[in-house]
Amino acid sequence: MALLKPITKLNHLSTTITTNPRTTLPRHTTIRMSSSTTTGPTKTKNSSGNNKKGVKETLLAPRFYTTDFDEMEQLFNTEMNKNLNEAEFEALLQEFKTDYNQTHFVRNKEFKEAADEMQGPLRQIFVEFLERSCTAEFSGFLLYKELGRRLKKTNPVVAEIFSLMSRDEARHAGFLNKGLSDFNLALDLGFLTKARKYTFFKPKFIFYATYLSEKIGYWRYITIYRHLKANPEYQCYPIFKYFENWCQDENRHGDFFSALMKAQPQFLNDWKAKLWARFFCLSVYPPLCSHIYFCIPKGSC
């Protein structure tokens, strides 16, 4: 499709977050997500004999996005846009460079033990939760990595922030994929990068959608964390204990998009912008809420 611009040169990046050696073990199943909307789960065998399970796409499945990178370059050109607050972006960059969660995502033996104990419908629904979360985080990684690459010459500070946000999302996706390995599964992120359809959004809509995804993502993670801390009997898997620090990454990402949008007042201040913002609020919020409702064990929410 003419509107879809493939993101290129990302294959080597995707491999950086699939370094879990367990994903190569024959007893593991590699999950691939088909771009078809009609096929159900299928199994194929690759050359090494591993089972690969196709996963049906649904309305709730997170999408991959691409945008008009030429327009993005114009929006972040400091010569053309005097609204860009360079001091604010410098401060944000220092914050991202601090890398507060550098040593946060360390696993322990509780993960595998909890996965082995989880059986029946809970196990199935939890695997779906991990798959969707991993795909959503990986989607952010791809978009931010490409923006970091494309804006390097126009606005090196903004470009570096995008690259550091892609670092965070890669870390999140990798941690979730390691969670899948506890269930003898792995998302084939290299395959997803190449095979999945990308949804094109103009920069304005990328700003609305990603700002809301990040901020709602923050509230989603912290709400789950607080609920399970207050009700530890529902703590079925240790990944939730990591959400308190994890959500701060998403909050920082949202703050960055907030600063970006302040530099683009034309996207915020007229009646059309206000209507679009409301539309995106409606379209981003329900899928995320449904995600929590359908994927977190019933009775625990």
Question: Of 172 and 178, which has the nearer Cβ to Fe ion?
Answer: 172
CB of 284 to Fe ion, least distance (A): 13
Question: Of 243 and 267, which has the nearer Cβ to Fe ion?
Answer: 243
CB of 171 to Fe ion, least distance (A): 8
What would the two tokens of residue 194 be?
Answer: 């190449």
Sequence letter at residue 84: L
Distance CA(199)–CA(55), nearest Å, equals 19
Question: Of 73 and 169, which has the nearer Cβ to Fe ion?
Answer: 169
Q: Is 120 left (phi over 0), alpha (psi -120 to 50) or beta?
A: left
Question: Of 149 and 172, which has the nearer Cβ to Fe ion?
Answer: 172
Nearest C-alpha neighbor of 15 from the set 190, 195, 187: 190
Residue 64 C-beta-side C-alpha neighbours within 13 Å? 25
Catalogue the E-assigned strands of the chain: 29-33, 42-45, 51-55, 64-66, 185-187, 198-200
Question: Of 28 and 291, which has the nearer Cβ to Fe ion?
Answer: 291
Where does this chain bind Fe ion (CB under 5 A)? 137, 169, 172, 214, 250, 253
CB of 140 to Fe ion, least distance (A): 5
CB of 254 to Fe ion, least distance (A): 8
Residue 214's H or E segment, with its range, is: helix 203-230
CB of 219 to Fe ion, least distance (A): 13
Distance CA(40)–CA(54), nearest Å, equals 7
Question: Of 28 and 252, which has the nearer Cβ to Fe ion?
Answer: 252
CB of 143 to Fe ion, least distance (A): 10
What would the two tokens of residue 182 be?
Answer: 């506890």
Question: Of 188 and 214, which has the nearer Cβ to Fe ion?
Answer: 214
CB of 253 to Fe ion, least distance (A): 4
- The distance from CA 141 to its chain's CA centroid, rounded to whole angstroms, is 6
Residue spans of alpha helices (H) in 43-155: 69-75, 86-98, 110-117, 120-150
